A and B are shown apart, each in its own frame.
Chain A
Amino acid sequence: AQTVTQSQPEMSVQEAETVTLSCTYDTSESDYYLFWYKQPPSRQMILVIRQEAYKQQNATENRFSVNFQKAAKSFSLKISDSQLGDAAMYFCAYRRRSGGSNYKLTFGKGTLLTVNP
Chain B
Amino acid sequence: NAGVTQTPKFQVLKTGQSMTLQCAQDMNHEYMSWYRQDPGMGLRLIHYSVGAGITDQGEVPNGYNVSRSTTEDFPLRLLSAAPSQTSVYFCASSYSRAGNTGELFFGEGSRLTVL
Q: Which residue of A lies closest to B96 (CB)?
A: A103
A67-115 contacts to B (CB < 8 Å): 91, 95, 97-99, 102-105, 107-110
Q: How far is the CB of B113 from chain A (nearest CB, A)?
A: 14
Q: Is the interface of A mostly helix, strand, loop or mixed?
A: loop
Q: Which of B16-24, B70-78, B79-87, B97-105 contacts A (4 or more CB under 8 A)?
A: B97-105
Judge whether B13 is part of the interface by a CB distance below 8 angstroms. no
How many B residues touch A, CB cutoff 8 Å?
A: 26
| Closest chain A residue, CB of each to CB of B31 | A103
Taking A33-B102, A50-B103 as contacts, is the C-beta distance between A103 and B109 under 8 angstroms?
no
- Please give the distance in Å from A2's CB to the nearest CB on chain B: 12
A-B contact count (CB 8 A): 56
B27 CB-CB contact with A under 8 Å = no
Interface size on A, residues (CB 8 A): 24
- Residue pair A50, B101 in contact (C-beta under 8 Å): yes
The answer to whether A109 and B96 touch across the interface, beta carbons within 8 angstroms, is: no
**Bound: A44/B103 CA distance, A:** 15
A50 touches B48 (CB 8 A): no
Whether, in the assembled complex, A55 has its beta carbon less than 8 Å from a beta carbon of chain B, the answer is no
- A44 close to B106 (CB less than 8 A): yes
Per the bound structure, the CA–CA distance linking A4 and B41 in Å amounts to 12
Kindly identify which residue among B42, B101, B102, B108 contacts A91, using a CB–CB cutoff of 8 Å.
Answer: B42
Q: Given A35-B103, A103-B31, does the pair A45, B40 have CB atoms closer than 8 Å? A: no
CA distance A103 to B96 in the complex (A): 6
**Can you name 5 A-B pairs with beta carbons within 8 Å?**
A9-B40, A44-B106, A98-B99, A104-B58, A107-B42
Having A4-B42, A45-B90, A45-B92, one finds 4 other A-B pairs with CB under 8 Å, namely A43-B88, A50-B103, A103-B50, A103-B94
